[in-house]
Structure 1
Amino acid sequence: MKLRFLGKNSKVGDCPTLYATDRDTYLVQGWKIFANDLLMQLEVSEGETAVEVPTELFEHLAKDGLPAGEFRRLEDPLMVLTPGGTYVVQGRVVTDPEALSQMSIPDYETVVEVSKPAIVALLEEPRGADLQHRPQPAH
């Protein structure tokens, strides 16, 4: 799997990172989730896991031609907004040796793979959005 670095949100000791792949997917490197209350809310299938990342990480989607992290909706289990203002992103655990060799992953982080169409779907407004919430023209 070939990776293209899109960006990271580095603070001291924190390095969640976003990559595009040659498989029409994104790799999201983020913090491992240890909070039991959060894990209990997720239905994680075999071969999947979830990571926590700052919401600003998805601003780097602009480098792949997508709107910069303007999620119109969040959809369980793919992406959940936490009370702390971060996203929990669920996807397939990355085990590809070629991909992993291109990353620097601290012990407290892991990487999930999410399909590009799934991310794009979160960026689009759902069909049949409630029109009553739109401003009505003045008469």
Structure 2
Amino acid sequence: MRLRFLGKGGSDLGGCPSLYTTDHGSYLVQGWETDRPATVEIPHLLLGYAEPDTFIGAPMKDTGRGTFTLAGRPVAEREILEQLDLASDEVAIEVPKTRRTFYGALSSA
């Protein structure tokens, strides 16, 4: 899987929560490990790095402290993990990339 870095934030240390797009049409989310399997915690600001007209296609839960938790496919492949700068308290998951769809009507002005 090839990754393209989109952005990071949430920590002033080396590796920090990051967002990547993949050549599989998905997003790879690097986030803080939680006590739930395949679930990471990321700062709200990380969503701002999503590609235009796309969204992270996984349900997110607002923690109430400026972060979301979300779950996805755990990334364990060595060749993928070697491309990341993971801090000791971080893991990576793969989530769907959803395209924005327009459901409204154009005004006839």
Normalising by structure 1, report the TM-score.
Answer: 0.63
* Matched-pair contact (CA < 8 Å) for 2:10–2:42: no
* Matched-pair contact (CA < 8 Å) for 1:90–1:112: yes
Letter matched to residue 90 of structure 1? A
Q: What are structure 2's unaligned runs of at least 5 residues?
A: 104-109
Counterparts of 2:9 and 2:17 in 1: how far apart (Å)?
6
1:10 deviates by 4.8
Aligned to 2:21: 20
Is 2:65 aligned against 1:65?
Answer: no
State the identity %: 36
Give the structure with higher Rg (CA): 1
| Pairs within 5 Å for 1:28-47 | 28-34=29-35, 39=36
1:69-122: CA deviation from partner (whole Å, max 9, x where unpaired): 7x9xxx9x72111121211011000022221111111120000100112xx4xx
When residues 8 and 99 of structure 1 are mapped into structure 2, their CA distance, relative to the original with a 3 A threshold, is same
Is 2:78 aligned against 1:112?
Answer: no
1:124 deviates by 6.4
Number of residue pairs matched?
Answer: 102
Letter matched to residue 59 of structure 2? L
Q: What are structure 1's unaligned runs of at least 5 residues?
A: 40-47, 128-139
Letter matched to residue 66 of structure 1? D
* Matched-pair contact (CA < 8 Å) for 2:38–2:74: yes
Aligned to 1:95: 76
* Matched-pair contact (CA < 8 Å) for 2:74–2:93: yes
Consecutive aligned runs of 4 or more in structure 1 exceeding 6 Å deviation: none
Normalising by structure 2, report the TM-score.
Answer: 0.79
SS at match of 2:70: strand
Aligned to 1:11: 11
Is 2:42 aligned against 1:53?
Answer: yes
